[in-house]
Structure 1
């Protein structure tokens, strides 16, 4: 065979391979975006899922983005009583990677039913709700990744301790395993970073339970939130974050968490929550995400990743409590790598 013929043959094979790869990628993208034959096509992925509780039946709001039979991520928002809107930035990263994800407002949150019976606001009932949502969405150990941030991270831990046989992967983001340790970190490490007179005034207001004092919120906004919740000037905070804060259900938040930003208010139902001793029972692949400027202690979260049986730690050095915004590249690169690494184990 002439040299020119061999060259043409090699070139033809190369071009064929490139064409095939491009076609496969296009088919994969088309499948990801295809809503046909889905029961949520009518509303573009939105589905109100019925759940059963000791106080009757209600509906919770969910929205699926994309299709992937092996990688489906259910997002648990913080609060309690916040909304899925905190995760709007996931739209900018997961679709490009072909990862299916589900926005979800827990019962009592803005887009879901909002019953007023306080007996509904317990950890066990929320865990049961998550499992009902999981079943309704067809999530199982072959595809189900559970992501939880802040209160959502607490709920994710609780879910894994009860139902980890349903999970493929677990992500605990910006949440410690002990609320007493969180309170200690806030008061001994974060608080003293403020001007002394500011921190003393905040503690005085909390001690007197004068939480309606407008100065309380103003001081926190100026000296705490824009350094440890979201490291951006307040007038630059993402619209979706502002929207979620506007939509928060204070009745749930105060009942479970309390008013204080430096721990759990006495009488709040989450007071004393501690799962440090139980982390060793979590065997599902787990990613723990911490951030250098978080309201939560990043060293504690690094330790958590060593306590679970199959853990990894992702540190966002420039991030705070909402690291998906203020250390976005590190956050999403690490999160996506974890999901794909876990998926590759099953091949």
Structure 2
């Protein structure tokens, strides 16, 4: 069951080379200058907000207002399937522009806001925060690689630990360029169960986002590739940490011990960002908010300054 939105709607905007498009948003709680909202950016790219709905706990338990949104090309926002493969259109700058429009729509520049990005959403957030956007108070980069090539090295190390038959299916698919076979998809699922979400039964919210990715792979296929294990899109050489020294707000890094985003690809954020803290969840992979939700939410809420969360952290210690 999804969160109860206090406000929901779309932001209409003219997108170069695409015309009139809309970005869906849903607000939980009532943001104010004394209680600024946390903007939540989903991963994928193209996964939609559904798998992040558990983060509504940040409002129900800690009183933090939230702004969910679906990025262009997925979820309840405008889909552009005719743009599949158009790497000049689907760019990081496109999504930074969308994010800036969202912030201006809610008139948050003066009152301020926090930002949380998970996976690709964190990549986007890191690149955007390096431009020092007006109004940003704190930044959370969750399960977000600072470098796609370094993430690939980490993933190769995890693949090396898979059963031999699974490894061979992945290698054959890459060799043949055939990523549609059942064997390849089954092999990917073995990896996902270890390094994307380790829960025995995946929550419906995650299943919804995965279905949406499968039904419209336009953005994911163009920017990333056929799966988490094979990067063919225009993010293949992306390295966001090169500008991360310009990030001038307090930043929290989160990843899981079993995360497909291994430490090798998180460390560059840690070394480049001046005011930074890094927490790793011992029992999590890529979906710590689903795998260890209470600790995950408490860590974020405490970082954002929630007195209740800070007391819980002190009590837990």
TM-score normalized by structure 2?
Answer: 0.88
The question of whether the paired residues in 2 share the 8 Å contact of 1:164 and 1:284 is answered with no
Q: Distance in 2 between matches of 1:275 and 1:297?
A: 16
- Partner-residue secondary structure (3-state), 1:186: helix
Structure 1 residue 210, shift from structure 2 partner: 0.7
**Residue 220 of structure 2 is aligned to residue 258 of structure 1:** no
Q: Distance in 2 between matches of 1:193 and 1:114?
A: 38
Paired residues, what number? 295
- Partner-residue secondary structure (3-state), 1:48: strand
**Residue 13 of structure 2 is aligned to residue 45 of structure 1:** no
Structure 1 residue 57, shift from structure 2 partner: 2.2
The question of whether the paired residues in 2 share the 8 Å contact of 1:290 and 1:302 is answered with no
The residue number in structure 2 matching 1:230 is 197
Higher mean alpha-carbon deviation, 115-124 vs 193-202, is at: 115-124
TM-score normalized by structure 1?
Answer: 0.80
Query: Which structure's relative contact order is higher, taking Cα pairs within 8 Å and 6+ residues apart?
Result: 2
Given candidates 60, 66, 71, the residue that maps to 2:23 is 60
- The alpha-carbon distance between structure 1 residues 225 and 141, as it changes in their structure 2 partners (threshold 3 A), is farther
- Partner-residue secondary structure (3-state), 2:304: helix
Return 5+ residue gaps in structure 2 as ranges.
308-317
Given candidates 154, 158, 164, the residue that maps to 1:196 is 164
Given candidates 254, 272, 289, the residue that maps to 2:237 is 272
The residue number in structure 2 matching 1:39 is none
- The alpha-carbon distance between structure 1 residues 144 and 164, as it changes in their structure 2 partners (threshold 3 A), is same
Q: Distance in 2 between matches of 1:302 and 1:142?
A: 32
Structure index of larger Rg? 1
The residue number in structure 1 matching 2:44 is 79
Given candidates 327, 332, 342, the residue that maps to 2:292 is 327
Larger relative helix fraction? 1
Q: Distance in 2 between matches of 1:84 and 1:139?
A: 21
The residue number in structure 1 matching 2:173 is 205
- Partner-residue secondary structure (3-state), 1:91: helix
Q: Distance in 1 between matches of 2:64 and 2:269?
A: 26
CA RMSD of aligned residues (A): 1.9
Structure 1 residue 300, shift from structure 2 partner: 4.0
Q: Distance in 1 between matches of 2:293 and 2:22?
A: 32
Structure 1 residue 144, shift from structure 2 partner: 1.0
Structure 1 residue 185, shift from structure 2 partner: 0.9
Task: Kindly report which structure 2 residues correspond to 1:70-149, keeping only aligned pairs within 5 A, or say none.
Answer: 70-115=35-80, 116-117=82-83, 118=86, 119-140=88-109, 142-149=111-118
Structure 1 residue 341, shift from structure 2 partner: 6.5
- Partner-residue secondary structure (3-state), 2:278: strand
The residue number in structure 2 matching 1:167 is 136
The question of whether the paired residues in 2 share the 8 Å contact of 1:232 and 1:326 is answered with yes
Deviations along 1:105-130, one digit per CA (max 9) or x if unpaired, are 00111211112333431111111111
- The alpha-carbon distance between structure 1 residues 331 and 299, as it changes in their structure 2 partners (threshold 3 A), is farther
